[in-house]
Amino acid sequence: MAADLGELLVPYMPTIHVPKTGDRVYRSECAYSYDSPESEGGLYVCMSTFLGFGREHVERHYRKTGQCVYMHLKRYPKLKMPGAAGGTLPKRKNGMIFLDLEINSDSSSDYDYEDEVKLVIFPDHFEIALPNIEELPALVTIACDAVLNSKSPYIKQEPDSWEDELPVSKYANNLAQLDNGVRIPPSGWKCAKCEMRENLWLNLTDGAVLCGRWFFDGRGGNGHALEHHKQMGYPLAVRLGTITPDGADVYSFEEEEAVLDPHIAKHLAHFGIDMLQMHMTENGVTDNMVMPRISEWEVIQESGMKLKPMFGPGYTGIKNMGNSCYISTVMQIIFSIPEFQRAYVGNLPRIFDYSPLDPTQDFNTQMSKLGHGLLSGQFSKPPVKSELIEQVMREEEHKPLPRGIALRMFKSLVSMGHPEFSSKRQQDAHEFLMHLVNLVERNSIGFGTENPSDVFRFLVEERTQCCQSRKVRYTQRVDYVMQLPVALEAATNRDELIAHEQKRKEAESARIPPPERIRARVPFSACLQAFSEPDNVDDFWSSALQAKSAGIKTSRFSSFPEYLIVQIKKFTFGLDWVPKKLDVSIDMPDLLDINHLRAAGLQPTEEELPDIAPPIVIPEDPRDHSRNRYLDDFAEPLVVPGYEAAAEGSVLMDNQPPEEIVALIASMGFQRHQAIQALKATNNNLERALDWIFSHPDCEEDSESVSDANDAENSSTANIISETEPGGPRVKDGPGRYELFGFISHMGTSTMSGHYVCHIKKEGRWVLFNDHKVCASERPPKDLGYMYFYRRMPL
């Protein structure tokens, strides 16, 4: 028999591999579904690629790759027998248990598990039971043992496995910090060399705030932080937006890796940032100890009510893997939208058939997998009747019911390369939604169907006026979210709030616990009015006066999206860098009409500001003579990574912009030549490039480099361009009347902590999605939400 098995496996030996260090072995989850070894058909692990497949999908992989040998893993749960005292007997030793097996169903202590392992050879499904050391070739035995004992493919994503391994920077103990008077404000940051306002890094030596590199997912900047290090030699920088009482993200340019800075509190205090007192008041009572009369945790989760559990398609919960609720709530909302359902679930067979050889790394495949998992009902089955349970228990065939899905594979993919989303720290659901929309945009190129994120996109008209000359400038930009300010000054219980603040100060002086919090009640109409009012423009330069002047800006909708996302701006920073969440109740309407916010454009009585760019001014700082010799470097043209070989002294506008930024702008619906010209005109600044496109709608493709670039485009890109609307991005304009269908709520004092849940209106009633628990809502707390989702009302 041993010789027979050896001879049988000889033709397949070149395809049986032993996992090496760094290989990802998926022995707990299917690449295309949420099947696991506990599923009815078990899980098949390819012995060549180490990808896992449920019974429904293993044939697809066999047909696509020709790979024949798979390890079949099956786990059989068995209900424990009751002991003499009515409890369960101690868990007996099983014949075999997979080590560290992550599964999608609940491994209750009421069950024992027996695991079965086989080698299966396709297409005849010939089975070889394992272990079978004596009869199998040594290489096969070694490979099988390595697969069974492999580590989780997500271990690198877990902070327990990588945060503690960060090295202490050799520069931390003796870091020099310049006494240059720099103080960093709690908000309003932008790169000192360009206009970037994201992915900003604070140099811990001189306090310079500069942008990071451009990343594949659309984040990043122009690499000015690294450029500054190369010029000045200052080694450490901290990423703004990651500073918490527990630490911050620190990067060492010299050591070329993320590091720990044991003295980070002292180094930040040098620039006026007090990170250690962020959650502590002067009387020693933490903010978390002072709760309002009715806690938002109780109200938002509808605690104390008997909520009816919901099951079936569209009512599938998502397991919390440790501060992953910000992802869960966003994805529940996303897949309640028909356009996303059609794009990813409706096209599932085609997406799966044309997926790459490693579907775990394909965004569209994982979106289809997630959508099917939520909408199929396979992982949201109701319990059977009690009498049937008793009968099944007697037959010892009772199995734990699937209760939701775990998004390990999805989170691993969408958070790849992102220092925040790849951690287990709590994150801002709004930031993740924008990150997801960016991924949808980038992966819809060549997708062959309508981009589902088009339903969120709208155009904003910004009217900027010089207060002295009264002249105006109109520009347009693309946006996805209506950010609504909280008009606290219009609170209907303002007198009560003032009295509470006085009591709080008295308690603070007397060093006694403060009074219970009072929640501000703010009318939605006041917040909408605050949104429509003019804002002052910082550092406004008037082209009419050729000098700085006072300026104001108002924003209006040039188009109304199919689905309107409204974010309540609850999170802010105090002057002492204390992150604050405004505890407010806003009477958000079920029906919303914003037609009065429709943009009107340039009026006959208005005069436009001249189209003149402001001069480049390089400020000198007499307090820091050591840096004056480097000021000329700031006026040099920006060199984008990958284009350093350009001739010395050449102007950046003569170079080709980074392809990643060009593709991102093109994915928004603009033509490729527009993206290239705009980026060249704005030193590759994404935000300014979009403004440039709107202010130059008639730009012609007259650049030789643009023509050459277009000639080099392949046919698929040409087809994509032809499908876009000329002269602007794809938007779905229509009436500005909306109906509320979902909202995401946050509990806690900061986006860096707490918990998220969401409520979605399904089949005429509100449903609460709280991790894996899905229940009919009795009192949806629509006044305490963070992000609200409206759909356009039919005419």
Tell me the pLDDT tens digit for each residue of 697-709: 655 444 444 334 3
Model confidence over 155-184: pLDDT tens digits? Answer: 754 444 333 457 889 999 999 999 999 998
pLDDT at 82: 56
CA distance 190 to 197: 5
CA distance 529 to 522: 12
pLDDT at 145: 93
- Segment 424-428 mean pLDDT: 85
- Please give the residue that has the higher pLDDT: either 440 or 722: 440
- Annotation says 466 is catalytic: no
- Please give the residue that has the higher pLDDT: either 679 or 161: 679
pLDDT at 579: 64
674 phi, psi to nearest 5 deg: -65, -45
**DSSP element (H, E) containing 628:** helix 625-628
- 659-667 helix and 686-695 helix, angle to the nearest 10 degrees: 50
What is the pTM assigned to this prediction? 0.73
- Segment 417-429 mean pLDDT: 86
Read off the pLDDT band of 618 (50, 70, 90). Answer: low
pLDDT at 159: 42
Question: Does residue 352 surpass a pLDDT of 90?
Answer: yes
pLDDT at 48: 96
The answer to whether 543 and 610 are in contact (CB under 8 A) is: yes
Mean pLDDT, the chain, rounded, equals 81
593-609 in b/e form (b: 16+ CB < 10 A) is: ebeebebeeeeeeeeeb
pLDDT at 463: 96
pLDDT at 725: 46
- Annotation says 144 is catalytic: no
pLDDT at 546: 92
pLDDT at 693: 79
Among 137-141, 456-460, 710-714, name the most confident range. 456-460
63 CB-side CA count, 13 A: 9
Q: Both tokens of residue 795?
A: 């005419």
Catalytic residue among 224, 228, 746, 755: 755
The closest of 441, 355, 343, 447 to 716, measured between CA atoms, is 447
Q: According to the 3-state scheme, what is the secondary structure of 160-212?
A: HHHCCCCCECCCCCCCCCCCCCCCCCCCCCCCCCCCCCCCEEEECCCCCEEEC
Q: Which of 107-111, 392-396, 730-734 has the lowest mean pLDDT?
A: 392-396
Catalytic residue among 46, 191, 211, 325: 325
564: Cβ contacts below 8 Å, ≥ 6 apart? 458, 482, 592, 594, 738, 789, 790, 791, 792
- Segment 510-524 mean pLDDT: 88
pLDDT at 488: 92
The answer to whether 370 and 327 are in contact (CB under 8 A) is: no
706: Cβ contacts below 8 Å, ≥ 6 apart? 673, 676, 677
318 CB-side CA count, 13 A: 31
Question: Does residue 549 surpass a pLDDT of 50?
Answer: yes
178: Cβ contacts below 8 Å, ≥ 6 apart? 205, 206, 207, 624, 626
Model confidence over 374-406: pLDDT tens digits? Answer: 999 999 988 765 444 444 444 444 455 667 899
The answer to whether 52 and 104 are in contact (CB under 8 A) is: no
CA distance 194 to 190: 8
Model confidence over 22-40: pLDDT tens digits? Answer: 899 999 999 999 999 999 9
CA distance 755 to 53: 33
595 phi, psi to nearest 5 deg: -60, -30
612-646 in b/e form (b: 16+ CB < 10 A) is: eeeeeeeeeeeeeeebeeeeeeeeeebbbeeeeee
The answer to whether 658 and 214 are in contact (CB under 8 A) is: yes
Model confidence over 681-691: pLDDT tens digits? Answer: 777 777 777 77
Model confidence over 438-455: pLDDT tens digits? Answer: 999 889 866 666 789 999
State the amino acid at position 729 in one-letter form.
P
